[in-house]
Amino acid sequence: MCGIAGFYKSQENTDTKIKTLKYMLSRIKHRGPDQSGIYLSNTVGLGSVRLSVIDLNTGTMPLSNSDETLWIVFNGEIYNYIELRKELLEKNHKFKTNSDTEVVIHLYEEYGPEFLNKLNGQFAIAIWDKSKQELFLARDRVGIRPLFYTNVNDAFVFASEIKSLFEFPGIVPKISAKALSEYFTFWTSLTPNTAFEGVFEVPPGTYMTINANTQSISKYWELPIFKPNEYKYRNVDQAAAAFETIFNDAIKLRLRADVQVAAYLSGGLDSSITTSYIKNISPDKLQTFSVGFTEKDFDETSYQNIAVSYFNTQHSSVICSSTDIAENFKNVIWHSETPLLRTAPMPMSLLADKVKDKGIKVVITGEGADELFGGYNIFKETKIKHFWARDPESKYRPLLLKKLYPYLPFIEKATANVLKLFFGYKLSETSSPIYSHLLRWNNTSRINNYLSPKYKETINDYNPVLKVEKELKHKLDGYDYLTKAQWIELNFFMSGYLLSSQGDRMTMANSVEGRYPFLDHRLIEFSMSLHPDLKLNGLNEKFLLKKIMNGRMPESILNRPKQAYRAPIKSAFSLEDLPEYLKSMLTNTKLNDYGVFNPKYVSQLLAKMQNNSQVSEIDNMAITAILSTQILYDLFINKSIPKLAETDLIKFDKTIIE
């Protein structure tokens, strides 16, 4: 796993270009502390910092094809590279290394952009084609690995992280008001937007070509969805057999590495499944890791202990307190580069730090299972609301919603009328393509009320929910309620938030690579072809997975109540000994200086939290959003992070100048 950066058509001289690449790569050296290198010509500059996992000795980038007409820098892993290498050898390709990176460059030479469909992996790719004088960028199907770009003067600039872009001369960062309105609605921006004006992501499942005439973007993969008459699997036994075949191979491929591979074991169903399959394939002692909390409402340590005992793993855990969250929140924002509405990424960073401390570079995790197999409460909520909407005056149907949120006290005690008020938003609009998320997005969008008049004026009448509803009106027409809800979760939340803020950014901040077998594209395509009842059976989530794992994990984990992964907010940001830096971000002085939020409304929110008033989930998200955005502004706009000193700069292990 690595970090990559580069540019096309920079007008600077060679020495300045080398210096620019050095600064860009030094900002993201946490992504690749083992090796670094650059390729430079009159037209293009490519660079990488490498976390060596496969072919430790000869895989240093940039790498070329045999006649050096193509050059590549690459962030990711291609799990089926051995099979693809064999295919290329049969076509007379010659290799100088044993790396998956070199396989990628030869695949591009052989097949052009179509080669992307052959890859099983997670990746961000940059290839310079000398013959065409063309830069090629590509990102994996679901956006596991990040890739950003911008234009400054006549130059096109790209990098694995936005902070690397900002080391390029002439770029002036600016917070995007419209993007904030998206973050404060969806928890993420709408691709390709980011929190910064003029900075974009290469969307998941797409590639770009940049040359003297154009910057074009093309989709090579999108989430497959099936209408009710198109489901491929309706029988649980047939579906179970197909899952076993695909998932077993997905795990096997993700165990390929020239370093030790560990796993997260949270005490939940998903990580227990991955651990079970790993132990079946490789019975050797497996190192596992988990995070617990000092606050009982968030802690799953008892289930983790059960899982560790059952699977007999060599386990390490870390305990996270509210103080830990507050003290490390600034660092989390530095690495996530986005506003956050939850503190959940911080414990994941703490966990990855523990993995690094044990000398492990690679962990297998369970991300994707909830999205693919109906694990989230929002899927159940949608099912209940469809049922309720058929008899909107029912006194009993809304009571079903109590089953979903036992960890929210006001829901547990709520009457039917209270539940109607809370959950009844646009209850009858079941034909909306975004029906499943209307309530969530309406509630979350209240955070926009805290924005300053200036930012509200910039946003004007832009309504991101209406924009999405209009765009999806025909795309999701005719699909079942679960498919529509899954499409939204997989295309918005998973890549934009889960895989970014809780996944790639927190692991790579600690030079650790996460691997996600549930996100093998074959498994994604399989899961989307299942009849909904095989995923959400009644209100029993992950029905197929539970059937498959019956007898293969502890009963107490298999059938435990669903507990969403959360981390403390109110206790973290209401501490009397809140770090001075965080306190300063919430002062009227800073709020006025940065101009993003209305100081009066922020003060009212702080008073509510400090007076121990009834603090809602929206209040918690609002204080997190405000604080994280203030920090984001301070770090990237106010540039409070010190400039890189000479001692901070990396030394290149490989330099190619043409």
Residue 645 lies in a domain: no
pLDDT for the residue numbered 57? 78
Query: Which of these three, 220, 241, 264, is where a domain ends?
Result: 220
pLDDT digits (tens, 9 = 90+) for 243-271: 999 999 999 999 999 999 999 999 999 99
pLDDT for the residue numbered 422? 81
Same domain, 166 and 18: yes
Residue 610 lies in a domain: yes
Q: Measured in Å, how far apart are the chain's first and last C-alpha atoms?
A: 26
DSSP per-residue codes, 193-208:
B-SBTT-EEPPTTEEE
Q: What is the largest CA-CA distance in the chain?
A: 75
> To the nearest whole number, what is the mean pLDDT of the chain?
95
pLDDT digits (tens, 9 = 90+) for 320-361: 999 999 999 999 999 999 999 999 999 999 999 999 999 999
pLDDT for the residue numbered 151? 97
Strand order through the sheet with 215-219? 63-64, 70-78, 121-129, 134-139, 206-210, 215-219
pLDDT for the residue numbered 407? 67
Residue 4 CA to residue 73 CA, distance in Å, equals 6
Residue 614 lies in a domain: yes
For 230, 435, 511, the CA distances from 224, given in Å and listed in that order, are: 11, 20, 33
Instruction: Residue 38: give the domain boundaries.
Output: 2-220
pLDDT for the residue numbered 563? 79
- Rounded to 5 degrees, what angle do the CA atoms 197, 201, 205 make? 155
Checking if the pLDDT of 164 tops 70, the result is yes
Same domain, 89 and 135: yes
pLDDT for the residue numbered 562? 79
Strands 2-8 and 536-537: unpaired
Mean pLDDT along residues 163-185 = 97
Same domain, 133 and 46: yes
Same domain, 515 and 473: no
281: domain CATH number is 3.40.50.620
pLDDT digits (tens, 9 = 90+) for 181-225: 999 999 999 999 999 999 999 999 999 999 999 999 999 999 999
Rg (the chain; Cα; Å): 24
Among 329-343, 349-363, 584-598, 604-618, which stretch is predicted with the lowest mean pLDDT?
Answer: 604-618
Among 24-28, 158-162, 276-280, 392-396, which stretch is predicted with the lowest mean pLDDT?
Answer: 392-396
pLDDT digits (tens, 9 = 90+) for 478-533: 999 999 999 999 999 999 999 999 999 999 999 999 999 999 999 999 999 999 99
Q: At 137, phi and psi to the nearest 5?
A: -120, 145
Residue 653 lies in a domain: no
Query: Which of these three, 220, 240, 259, is where a domain ends?
Result: 220
Residue 632 lies in a domain: yes
Residue 197 CA to residue 423 CA, distance in Å, equals 35
Mean pLDDT along residues 270-285 = 95
Same domain, 115 and 37: yes
Quickly count: other Cβ atoms within 10 Å of residue 30's Cβ: 16
Same domain, 46 and 193: yes
45 close to 6: Cβ distance less than 8 angstroms: yes
pLDDT for the residue numbered 400? 86
Residue 507 lies in a domain: yes
Checking if the pLDDT of 1 tops 80, the result is no
Mean pLDDT along residues 147-173 = 97
What letter represents residue 552's amino acid?
Answer: R
Place of tokens 């992964």: 565
Same domain, 124 and 7: yes
82: domain CATH number is 3.60.20.10
Domain count, the chain: 4
Same domain, 194 and 69: yes
Residue 322 CA to residue 337 CA, distance in Å, equals 22
- Answer whether the bond into residue 192 is a cis peptide, omega within 30°: yes
Residue 452 CA to residue 17 CA, distance in Å, equals 40
Residue 255 lies in a domain: yes
Query: Which of these three, 168, 201, 220, is where a domain ends?
Result: 220
Helices (H), 112-173: 162-165
pLDDT digits (tens, 9 = 90+) for 417-430: 888 878 889 999 99
Same domain, 301 and 424: no
Same domain, 250 and 207: no
Mean pLDDT along residues 435-442 = 96
Mean pLDDT along residues 633-639 = 97
Mean pLDDT along residues 160-177 = 97
Same domain, 23 and 167: yes
pLDDT for the residue numbered 168? 97
Checking if the pLDDT of 587 tops 70, the result is yes
Same domain, 256 and 320: yes
Residue 642 lies in a domain: no
